[in-house]
Amino acid sequence: CVDVPGLRLADGHGPLPQIKEEMQDAKQCTELCKGNSKCGQAIFSFGNKGCYLFEKATSKLGEQPSQGTTFQGAFCGAAIDEPRLWSLRNAAEREQVQREWTKAEDRAKALLTKLSLEDKVVLLHGQNEKYPNDRRAFAGLINASKAGGHHGIRPLGMNDGPQGFNHYQDKLANTTTQFPCLLALAASFDPGAV
């Protein structure tokens, strides 16, 4: 069997008789499916400790409850089917990622409609004051509330990327990681130096 942790799979095809006893964990449910030659998919609900078995597996996702209950699924079959089982898991995970991205994009679009022009402009540049007044972010602080709007956008502190995480405080001197510029590494005529 190939476990599919954390995803609420849609019910497979051909439900097998319902398991009456309460399962202690997802592994126990998966083992039940593994021991049944007709079982192709198991779904375990941590909420009601229920184990649901199906003859044929699906990589489609079911509706995830908004609060609380989590699930674990498993695709089962003969050893020769293992590449197909992993393919099902990958398809389910891709669908989950796509759902999460879609939700995030929808939230971002809704938030943008609420921002004033001034709020949007503030998102395009850092708001650090001159040293030593404001050193919360060493390569710029993006603070959406600087223009006066408060929309629940948390400040984002930036730091110098190519040279690694850099501290500009005397007490933390010499604690920076220093990496060579990636462009210089790529242009090197000495592969051994890289």
Going by pLDDT thresholds of 50, 70 and 90, the confidence category of residue 168 is low
For residue 30, give both structure tokens: 């998966």
Residue range 13-40, pLDDT digits in tens: 899 987 878 888 899 999 999 999 999 9
Instruction: Please report the pLDDT score of residue 102 as a whole number.
Output: 93
Instruction: Please report the pLDDT score of residue 140 as a whole number.
Output: 62
- Could you identify the residue written with the tokens 């402009």? 121
Instruction: Please report the pLDDT score of residue 127 as a whole number.
Output: 65
pLDDT at 151 exceeding the cut of 60: yes
pLDDT at 149 exceeding the cut of 90: no
Query: CB neighbours of 32 closer than 8 A, spacing ≥ 6?
Result: 19, 23, 39, 42, 51, 53
Query: Cis (ω within 30 of 0) for the bond into 132?
Result: yes
Going by pLDDT thresholds of 50, 70 and 90, the confidence category of residue 53 is very high
Host H or E run for residue 74: strand 71-75
Instruction: Please report the pLDDT score of residue 22 as a whole number.
Output: 80
Distance CA(110)–CA(100), nearest Å, equals 15
For residue 44, give both structure tokens: 């375990």
What's the half-sphere exposure (Cβ side, CA atoms, 13 Å) at 81?
16
- Which residue would you say has higher pLDDT here, 154 or 179? 154
Instruction: Please report the pLDDT score of residue 115 as a whole number.
Output: 86
